[in-house]
A and B are shown apart, each in its own frame.
Chain A
Amino acid sequence: DVKVTQSSRYLVKRTGEKVFLECVQDMDHENMFWYRQDPGLGLRLIYFSYDVKMKEKGDIPEGYSVSREKKERFSLILESASTNQTSMYLCASSHSRDRISYTQYFGPGTRLTVL
């Protein structure tokens, strides 16, 4: 079974703090993704990565950065957290060799509250 884990289920931070959200997958997937989910807006792609040290902007990258130093780990960084970044953050991964379905496997999510 594919397992995608996220470091925290719930996180509370203060405005201006630097925040790290960690995601780890155990299936040797090349592709990893970070989404945020807000009521009425669905999931929106923040950043994704095809390989170690590679990153691509998604639809809403402003205010975020990412790091992929190891294949299994993809970190989302909020350099200076703001209240409008309060959201549910979901990580996903997929295999490049899956050229039929490009199935993404999702972690349980981290609910971040910025006060």
Chain B
Amino acid sequence: KQEVTQIPAALSVPEGENLVLNCSFTDSAIYNLQWFRQDPGKGLTSLLLIQSSQREQTSGRLNASLDKSSGRSTLYIAASQPGDSATYLCAVLRMTGSARQLTFGSGTQLTVLP
């Protein structure tokens, strides 16, 4: 059974710092990996998606990497801003027969202090 772990559970940094969020998964047979952002009391917004054949994806100040063989992904946020404060979730897409199911980590709650 696929398990996804995110470390740390919470992180607080001063504005302007670069930071890395970690995600690990137990079964390397994934189709893709996604990073989501969730603001308090809100739904999920997709930030980056990496296909299993890819190594990284970039969007603005965000860069996500994937090492499928070791079961790890990182989300790098450059020059953090208070508006980046949110919970960041990673999820892996697995194929189970005809099903396409996402398995989520429990998230990292990020606070960027002004």
Contacts and interface: CB of A to CB of B under 8 A. Distances in A.
Nearest to B46: A103
Interface in B44-71: 44-46, 49, 51
Interface stretch (A13-21, A37-45, A66-74, A77-85): A37-45
B41 A111 contact: yes
A48 B101 CA distance: 9
B99 A56 contact: yes
B89 interface: yes
Interface residues of A, number: 28
A41 B89 CA distance: 11
Could you say which of B45, B51, B102 has the most chain A C-beta atoms within 10 Å of its C-beta? B102
A87 interface: no
B101 A42 contact: no
A103 B104 contact: no
B110 interface: no
B106 A108 contact: no
Interface in A26-48: 31, 35, 39-45, 48
**Which 8 residue pairs are nearest across A and B when measured between Cβ atoms?**
A42-B106, A42-B104, A106-B43, A43-B104, A106-B44, A108-B43, A102-B100, A109-B43
